[in-house]
């Protein structure tokens, strides 16, 4: 059959030359792409949870100390089993506070209620330090504090099936430790635009989607794995570095190099060469 038939939630049925699923980590287009492998490669817990709150700058200064807000910068605090972060947002009026921690017993329920007791227990090893008690206070400055389990696609055998493909979190959901999930979605779109802009027949859409899979999957998989490992380093779990500041600095500093250094023009050229090879083969 040529084209793809899509049934929408409201019952509408329509037919398209191709479908690009950008429907997120639990999107349904992934099910079509992976067929009977969809459960095997479903998203699963990455081993961390986090919670956050946005509080007024003056409140954050009062609780954490005004010296932490003399510079406009993001602060990250590494501790045993957890990572705390705060940064000034909203034109210097609000502060984002995040508590992240290693998740020891993940469940299928991705959301958990957090109380003062659970947070105190999570950060029990660093309550005597300068930051943990204050961050607990600031995160509890809301009615209903929840922690969210971080899930990821540990592996995905293909991003494309015929005239259907997935991009963004539908293809490669990842942890937020390297801040790259949306960035990878933009790169996916850039490569698809290059490929689809260089074909002249509907039949070649399938080839373009195959080339997209070949070009994008290794890079995105590398970011997924690197991001998870970065989380372990940030949570003081790296066997060599532990909580040693110098070792942490040495380990963390180069971790973004492979993400930022990709030459986008060369990446697009690689995609086009792959497309041409497939068309000729
Ligand atoms: C805590 C956290 C911090 C992050 N920080 C960063 C960062 O600093 N930098 C970065 O690059 N990335 C970051 N990310 C990742 C980034 O948010 C995601 O990678 C990005 O949002 C993925 O975009 P997407 O469009 O693929 O999926 P989504 O943003 O999930 O969008 C999918 C959309 O599809 C819709 N949808 C699903 N099913 C259907 C359907 N059947 N019909 C119609 N619509 C449907 C959904 O409602 C949703 O709007 C972070 C993520 C988290 C959780």
pLDDT digits (tens, 9 = 90+) for 264-278: 999 999 999 999 999
Which two three-digit tokens encode residue 119? 């947070």
Q: Round the average pLDDT of the chain to a whole number and report it.
A: 96
Best CA proximity match to 192, nearest among 37, 43, 24, 21: 21
Nearest CA to ligand 1 atom 15: 181
Q: Is the CB of 181 under 6 A from ligand 1?
A: yes
Q: How far is the CA of 149 from the centre of ligand 1 (A)?
A: 15
Report pLDDT for 189.
Answer: 98
Report the number of secondary-structure helices (H) and strands (E) in the chain. Answer: 10, 11
Domain 45-152 has CATH 3.40.190.290: no
Nearest CA to ligand 1 atom 4: 176
**Any idea which fold 17-43+158-280 has?**
FAD/NAD(P)-binding domain (3.50.50)
Q: Is the CB of 82 under 6 A from ligand 1?
A: no
Question: Which band of pLDDT confidence, cut at 50, 70 and 90, is reported for residue 229?
Answer: very high
User: Is pLDDT at 16 greater than 90 in this prediction?
Assistant: yes
Q: How far apart are CA 53 and CA 132, in angstroms?
A: 14
Ligand 1 pocket, mutate which of 46, 169, 227 (most atoms under 8 A from CB): 169
Best CA proximity match to 46, nearest among 211, 232, 182, 244: 232
Q: How far is the CA of 169 from the centre of ligand 1 (A)?
A: 6
Nearest CA to ligand 1 atom 20: 182
Report pLDDT for 136.
Answer: 97
* Contact assessment for residue 120 and residue 135, using Cβ atoms and an 8 Å cutoff: no
Residues 203-220: pLDDT tens digits?
A: 999 999 999 999 999 999
Best CA proximity match to 110, nearest among 73, 69, 151: 151
Report pLDDT for 1.
Answer: 56
Q: Is the CB of 231 under 6 A from ligand 1?
A: no
Give me the percent of the chain exceeding a pLDDT of 90. 94
Report pLDDT for 107.
Answer: 85
> Residue for token digits 């493909």?
165
Task: For residue 73, list its beta bridge partners.
Answer: none
Question: Which band of pLDDT confidence, cut at 50, 70 and 90, is reported for residue 72?
Answer: confident
Instruction: Kindly state the greatest CA–CA separation across the chain.
Output: 67
Q: Is the CB of 53 under 6 A from ligand 1?
A: no
Task: For residue 95, list its beta bridge partners.
Answer: 55, 88
Q: Where are the domains of the chain?
A: 17-43+158-280, 45-152
């Amino acid at each position: 059959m040529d084209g793809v038939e899509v049934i929408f939630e409201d019952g509408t049925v329509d037919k398209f030359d191709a479908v690009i699923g950008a429907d997120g980590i639990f999107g349904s287009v992934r099910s079509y792409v992976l067929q009977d492998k969809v459960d095997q490669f479903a998203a699963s817990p990455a081993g961390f949870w986090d919670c956050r709150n946005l509080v007024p700058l003056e409140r954050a200064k009062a609780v954490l100390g005004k010296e932490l807000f003399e510079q406009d910068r993001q602060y990250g605090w590494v501790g045993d089993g957890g990572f705390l972060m705060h940064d000034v947002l909203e034109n210097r009026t609000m502060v984002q506070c995040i508590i992240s921690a290693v998740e020891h017993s993940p469940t299928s329920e991705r959301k958990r209620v957090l109380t003062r007791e659970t947070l105190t227990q999570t950060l029990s090893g660093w309550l005597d330090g300068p930051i943990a008690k204050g961050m607990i206070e600031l995160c509890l400055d809301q009615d209903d504090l929840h922690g969210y389990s971080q899930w990821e696609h540990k592996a995905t055998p293909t991003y494309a099936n015929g005239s259907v493909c997935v991009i963004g979190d539908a293809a490669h959901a990842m942890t937020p430790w390297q801040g790259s999930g949306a960035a990878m979605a933009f790169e996916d779109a850039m490569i698809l635009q290059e490929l689809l802009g260089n074909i002249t027949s509907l039949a070649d859409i399938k080839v373009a989607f195959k080339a997209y899979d070949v070009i994008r999957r290794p890079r995105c998989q590398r970011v997924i794995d690197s991001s998870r490992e970065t989380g372990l380093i940030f949570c003081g779990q790296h066997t060599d570095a532990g909580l040693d500041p110098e070792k942490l600095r040495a380990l963390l500093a180069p971790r973004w190099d492979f993400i930022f250094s990709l030459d986008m023009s060369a990446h697009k050229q690689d995609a086009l060469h792959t497309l041409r090879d497939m068309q000729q083969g």
